[in-house]
Amino acid sequence: MTLLVENLTCGYGDLTVVRNLSFEARAGEVLALLGRNGAGKTTTLKAVSGLVRAGSGRVVVDGRDVSTQAPYRRVTHGLAFVQEGKRIFRSRTVEENLVLGLFAVRGRRRVLAGRLAEAYARFPVLEQKRHLPAGSLSGGQQQMLSIAQALTRRPSVLLLDEPSAGLAPAIVGEVYEVIAGLRDDGLTVVLVEQAVGWAASVADRIAVLETGHKVYEGEPVGPEAEAAVARIELGGDARLGAAG
């Protein structure tokens, strides 16, 4: 077990968005959190990462309770969070963005070359454009840079919020190939998506949220999973196998 969330309740001020939510993401699997807008998916990721303070509940990473720790401490214990919107430093070069991902790493100078080599091996297009401003990259390449920056810390759990947002379908496919590769390499990924088909194409399990409550957790196939997705009325093609 790599990530365990137990009885998480959180929100913003007096507004409770997520209530008593529990789920687990096991080592080397993709768990997709699905639900319509306002279901509490992004708020859940922010609470797990420490960006939103939880009113109650526990977050356990690799057996360590990080519930009361600040976001930067959670990073040191294996959590990485790629937020929606490709939050990169657009005026900085691709390589500078990757180096910034190593900020405050012990022995930073010693590990820098190796971590950059790992990033470029996984994302060859970033090596080709290492000296260009990050803002000059395509939307899909910027998303890959965001993921690569998070991976420089060698996390055990990667939180991804809407990686398909704003991308053309062909580019979404490339991003999801990356996600599948991360899973195959043994990384645990918790994925928030509106694009149900794409999420299900890589998910080992799904958790469906409705107004801050979990209504289903399990395999992304079968009548119960289909009923849970239909219940939240995601819109578009909600068939779990319909990627793209």
- State both tokens at 2: 């790599």
For range 33-39, the mean pLDDT: 90
Q: Within this chain, do residues 124 and 175 fall inside the same structural domain, yes or no?
A: no
pTM of the model: 0.89
Could you read off the pLDDT of 159-184 as tens digits, one per residue? 999 998 888 888 898 889 999 999 99
Residue 243 lies in a domain: no
Tens digits of per-residue pLDDT, 117-127? 999 999 999 99
Q: What are phi and psi of 52, to 5 degrees?
A: -120, 130
Q: How many domains does the chain have?
A: 2
Residue 36's Cβ-side half-sphere holds a number of Cα atoms within 13 Å equal to: 12
User: Considering the chain, what is the average pLDDT of its residues?
Assistant: 89
- The reported pLDDT for the residue numbered 96 is 94
Same domain, 74 and 169: yes
Tell me, what's the pLDDT at 24? Answer: 95
Q: Are residues 70 and 89 in the same domain?
A: no
Same domain for 104 and 140, yes or no, is: yes
The string of DSSP letters for 42-73 reads HHHHHHHHTSS-EEEEEEEETTEE-TTS-HHH
**Confidence at 237, pLDDT banded by 50, 70, 90:** very low
Residue 18's pLDDT is: 96
Predicted pLDDT at 132: 97
- Range(s) of the domain holding residue 226: 1-78+158-238
Q: What is the pLDDT of residues 198-225, one digit of tens each?
A: 888 899 999 999 989 999 999 988 899 8
Closest CA to 179 of 205, 195, 202, 159: 202
Question: Above 90 in pLDDT, residue 155?
Answer: yes
Q: Which of 107, 139, 154 is the last residue of a domain?
A: 154
Whether residue 244 lies inside any domain: the answer is no
pLDDT at 105: 63
Where is the domain boundary, 110, 128, 154? 154
Looking at the structure, tell me whether residues 58 and 149 fall in a common domain. no
Residues 162 and 60 occupy one common structural domain: yes
pLDDT band of residue 104 (cuts 50, 70, 90) is low
For 61-65, what is the mean pLDDT?
95
Q: Are residues 169 and 56 part of one domain?
A: yes
Last residue of a domain, one of 124, 154, 184: 154
Confidence of residue 107 (pLDDT cuts 50, 70, 90): low
Residue 210 inside a domain? The answer is: yes
Q: Are residues 117 and 144 in the same domain?
A: yes
Q: Looking at residue 58, what is its pLDDT? A: 97
Say whether both 166 and 145 belong to one domain.
no
CA distance 36 to 75: 28
Q: How confident is the model at residue 233 (pLDDT cuts 50, 70, 90)?
A: low
pLDDT of residue 167: 86
Radius of gyration of the chain (CA): 17
User: Which residue, chain included where needed, has tokens 């809407």?
Assistant: 162
CATH number of the domain within which 177 lies: 3.40.50.300
The verdict on residue 63 lying in a domain is yes
User: Residue 117: in which H helix or E strand, if any?
Assistant: helix 108-122
